[in-house]
Chains A and B, each alone.
Chain A
Amino acid sequence: MSHRPLATSFFDRMHAHPLFRKHGRKAVIVVPYVWLLIFFLFPFFIILRMSLTDMEGVVIQPILQFKEGILSLAINVNHYLFILKDDLYGKTYLSSMRYAAITTFWCLFIGYPFSYFMARARPTAQPGLLMMVMLPFWTSFLLRVYAWKGLLTEGGWVCRLLVALHVDDLLVRLDLIPSQGLFMNTPFSLTIGMVYTYLPFMILPLYATLSKMDLRLLEAAADLGATPWVGFWKITVPLSKAGIIAGSMLVFIPCIGEYVIPELLGGPRTLMIGRVLWDEFFSNNDWPMAASVAVVVILLIIVPLAFFNKYQAEATEVRT
């Protein structure tokens, strides 16, 4: 053997290749973008296109037509006008926002102390605690939501417990359930299901920011006269703002469009945009109308998302 090249493995050679050196990084970034292009942006344009036409029977009308030598463009904005006119959609959207906000509030309320103590637990105990947060993901989301049906329905043990503790009296008074002992298919059952499902999405980003926090800052605060309580509100909470916002967005945004939980645990009083969409698509079979609703929902979700991205950018700027 005369001369062995320094780079021997396949990957070494790949990395050394001039083409890889030049474009390797780009390739890594481009792949997910192509994925999003094909499976998100392209379908979105199909939906957008669909929302701007009409259906004749079961056939969706073309938007561009070339007939008898004339190119005609037929854009129909009637569905959008209808969304504005019929207050069902506005109401449903507001109701979805309300449930998403309520869910976010409870997730934060339960998740913050949870993440806080998890982040401050002994380092050896933390992986175990984290595991317990992730464990529910190992069973099907659908099964877990179904399980709540059994727990909350008459005779389910959570139902009996709540009745025994007279929580149902309170819930009736708050108008969250129609009558005592009846928890299923109410705003209450819907909220329970959503909070339960989305809680880990709040906990994980909160834990990530809280566990990264420099604890000497709290010592510095105490040294300067801050009681532990003041130190928490003046130092810990502001410094976990990025986690609070990330967690809230991760809960809030998917909650707006949530379909499965309202379908299984919601009732006639729990209007959610996801169910309206389903009805338009598959009960009314009015695809262009459904597509319009979908487009509006996406546009309305982009607003909080843009806010989130802007905040993230600012937060990273502060940290560096």
Chain B
Amino acid sequence: MSLAPAPPAYLEIRDVVKDFGSGSLAVNHVSLDIHKGEIFALLGSSGCGKTTLLRMLAGFEVPTQGTILLDGQNLAGLPPYLRPINMMFQSYALFPHLTVWENVAFGLKREGMPRANIAERVEAMLKLVQLQKYGKRKPHQLSGGQQQRVALARSLAKRPQLMLLDEPLGALDKKLREETQVELANIIREVGVTCVMVTHDQEEAMTMATRIAVMSEGKILQVGTPGEIYETPTTRFVADFIGSVNLMDGKVVVDEPDFVEIDCVYCRHRVGHGITGNVGMDVAVAVRPEKIRLSRTRPDGEVNHVKGTVRDRSYFGSFTVYILELEGGRRLKVSESNVDRHRADAPAAGEVAWATWPDTAQVVLTQ
């Protein structure tokens, strides 16, 4: 983490609530500070309130409570068409009766910009997304990836102070999505616009965003850089939601200055990084599958390993996932990257193996 002083917030979301009257709050007292030039991702599964929050920023929904400030200006009461904010819609919402050129020019014409300037700006935008040759086409004559770029050009054309992205890559297939993630993030950084994006795809959030807010049931559970969210989740939900994880319930049994030991049903954890706890405290230990190694022989010592039977082995090319069944039926997920081309001693299904992990691998969760 950097030690530089935090820049002042550019977009301030202050205790925003949205109540649709359905019994639970769609957005439940959310406060966020987003800095200038940031790509900020709201990550959560569908129905978690992320899209509602985004729509309140755009002005399509009115907060039940709370304020939203953009560069110090309160957005309350401003209709969407007066906000210096543009949105890239989920599945793009391109105007089907207008050409690519007219789609990009639409917002500029509404501003009353002179014709010559519009032409210049549209050309620049189409160049930015590498669609100069496609200006005369209609949206339905473009591929999904090209439509996505038109949508991007259209939302950037007015040089918004804030850009909103609603599932920007959701409509693309996997391969194209991976390529586009990087490209899209590069274009946004090149333009330097502050972005808030909504996604349910953690990979998308991880690769594109500078910071991520994980949302569930209208609340923000954790805000942090992708690395922080992944390596130091603060709750079971976040640990489980981002990537895959082995969660084990246990009790703190030893509390020494430089380590603690936690007793779980199948094994004893020794956690060596700076945590403190009280003996007898109920905690959960989270270990990511890729931090676990498998070996055929019993490791030394009494902590941080567990014996089991390989039940399943799935080969993914760059890595292999093992499902280890512990005594008593619990399953442990282990992911080993395939550094060698053909590992000779890889445990096969049905074989007994020990899973082992270093004392820096675990995250101890109290909630």
Could you tell me which A residues sit within 8 Å of B by CB distance? 214, 216-217, 219-227, 230, 234-235, 238-239, 241, 318-320
Contacts and interface: CB of A to CB of B under 8 A. Distances in A.
23 contacts: A217-B93, A219-B60, A220-B93, A220-B95, A222-B79, A222-B80, A223-B80, A223-B81, A223-B89, A223-B155, A224-B81, A224-B86, A224-B106, A225-B82, A225-B107, A225-B111, A226-B110, A230-B110, A239-B97, A241-B97, A318-B138, A319-B140, A320-B140
Most chain A Cβ neighbours within 10 Å, of B58, B81, B82: B81
Interface in B79-135: 79-82, 85-87, 89, 93-97, 106-107, 110-111
Interface string B63-92: 000000000000000011110011101000
Contacts, number: 62
B329 to A, nearest CB: 42
Nearest to A230: B110
Most chain A Cβ neighbours within 10 Å, of B110, B138, B140: B110
Given A220-B89, A227-B81, A239-B97, 11 more contacts: A214-B93, A216-B93, A217-B93, A219-B89, A221-B106, A222-B81, A223-B155, A224-B107, A226-B110, A239-B96, A318-B140
Contacts of A241: 97
Chain A contact residues, majority secondary structure: helix
A216 B79 CA distance: 16
Contacts of B138: 318
B158 interface: yes
A223 B58 contact: yes
Contacts of B58: 219, 223
B154 interface: yes
Interface of B: 58-60, 79-82, 85-87, 89, 93-97, 106-107, 110-111, 138, 140, 154-155, 158
A239 B98 CA distance: 10
B140 A238 contact: no
Contacts of B80: 219, 222-223
A179 B218 CA distance: 69
B161 to A, nearest CB: 13
B306 to A, nearest CB: 51
Chain B contact residues, majority secondary structure: mixed
A221 B87 CA distance: 10
B173 to A, nearest CB: 20
A266 B318 CA distance: 84
A234 B355 CA distance: 64
Most chain B Cβ neighbours within 10 Å, of A220, A230, A241, A318: A220
Nearest to A226: B110
B96 A224 contact: no
A39 B81 CA distance: 56
Contact of B95 (A217, A225, A227, A230): A217
Most chain A Cβ neighbours within 10 Å, of B60, B79, B85, B106: B106
Contacts of B97: 238-239, 241, 318
A241 to B, nearest CB: 8
Contacts of B60: 219, 222
A223 B87 contact: yes
Contacts of B154: 224
Contacts of A224: 81, 86, 106-107, 110, 154, 158
Given A219-B60, A230-B110, A320-B140, A225 B93 contact: no
Contact of B96 (A219, A221, A222, A318): A318
Nearest to B111: A225
B158 A216 contact: no
A164 B80 CA distance: 46
A237 to B, nearest CB: 10
Nearest to A217: B93
B137 to A, nearest CB: 12
A320 B139 CA distance: 11
Contact of A226 (B81, B93, B94, B96): B81
A302 B96 CA distance: 30
* 6 nearest CB pairs, A to B: A224-B107, A225-B110, A220-B93, A222-B80, A216-B93, A238-B97
B95 A223 contact: no
Most chain A Cβ neighbours within 10 Å, of B79, B86, B96, B155: B96
